[in-house]
Amino acid sequence: MRKTEIDEIKISKAIIERYVKDLLDATETDVAIAGAGPAGMTAAYHLAKEGVKTVIFERKLSVGGGMWGGGMMFSRIVVQDGGREILNEFGVPSQEYEEGYWVADAVEAASTIASRTIKAGARIFNLISVEDVMIREGDRISGLVLNWSAVELANLHVDPLTIRSKVVVDATGHDCEICRIVSKKIRLKLKTETGEVIGEKPMWSEIGEKEILANTKEVYPGLIAVGMAANAVFGSPRMGAIFGGMLLSGKKAAEIILEGVLK
Ligand code: 48H
């Protein structure tokens, strides 16, 4: 007979010990991703399923970034043919609205992508914010500097902790926070036309979705830009509630890392 008695202290110990064990394991990783939006999670999924040790740090309580809300809180997303292939791979159903415009339920898409990413072996830590990067020889980005989002929100003066990774991915969306940190601290060194964050351009879905793939690349030694962050740092337009580019960009980031940066 298994014990039925429920002991609060055992619950506490189980949570603390298991979490700390996982966090300790994350202190040395192959790929560290800032942001668990659709782009960051798709990158993590494709890396983890190839056996690459991948960790995502997400500031918010929820993962999924801007996907939950669809367009203007109409919780449906649109993807084009290429994006639909990735939705299919995740097992997210979609219906063709007009030729080349596939519609999916935003909640089903975000939750399924999160689940498949974790089941592929990636670890997601929510409620942790990336506040800086670690550099090593040649100013290569070699890790992330972390703090509890609660510390950030309360504006407390608490020093952060650091994890080491072979590659860092900026998947922080419109704000491209990691690129901005690097640009601010190591001046004029980003691989953009100006050496700095150029900034996102106004809405133009066709161009935004096209350029996001070209923008998904190494923006600084050891740092890959993905998703909306890639368009923001390289100065391409936003695209609205079409999410195919985010998924395709995530997959491309994983391919770049698998083919080049990690070898
Ligand atoms: C930890 C952080 C930090 C930090 C931010 O915004 P996201 O959904 O980003 P993408 O690129 O996966 O998808 C973009 C898409 O949602 C979108 O906004 C589109 C298509 N917009 C088009 C338009 O025209 O508006 O996710 C980024 C995630 C969020 O969950 C943030 O909380 C998180 O990153 N994040 N996590 N440390 N410093 N900064």
Q: For residue range 182-203, what is the model confidence (pLDDT) as tens digits? A: 999 998 799 999 999 999 999 9
pTM: 0.98
Q: How far is the CA of 128 from the centre of ligand 1 (A)?
A: 14
Q: What residue's CA is closest to ligand 1, atom 24?
A: 240
Q: Which two tokens stand for residue 109?
A: 């898409």
Find out if CATH 3.50.50.60 is the number for domain 8-66+109-233+245-261.
Answer: yes
Query: How big is the CA angle at 113 (ends 250 and 228), to the nearest 5 degrees?
Result: 35
CA 226, CA 172: separation in Å to the nearest integer?
8
Q: Which residues contact 168 (CB under 8 A, 6 or more apart)?
A: 31, 32, 33, 34, 133, 141, 142, 143, 144, 178, 222, 223, 224
Percent of residues, the chain, with pLDDT higher than 90: 94
* Ligand 1 atom, smallest distance to 227 CA: 11
Rounded to the nearest integer, the mean pLDDT of the chain is 97
Band (246; pLDDT cuts 50, 70, 90): very high
Q: Hey, where are the domains in the chain?
A: 8-66+109-233+245-261
Ranges of beta strands (E only) in the chain are 28-34, 54-58, 76-79, 95-98, 101-105, 123-126, 128-136, 140-148, 161-170, 218-220, 223-225
Which residue out of 125, 246, 249 has the highest number of ligand 1 atoms within 8 Å of its CB and is therefore the one to mutate? Answer: 246
**The pLDDT value given to residue 262:** 64
pLDDT for 110 equals 98
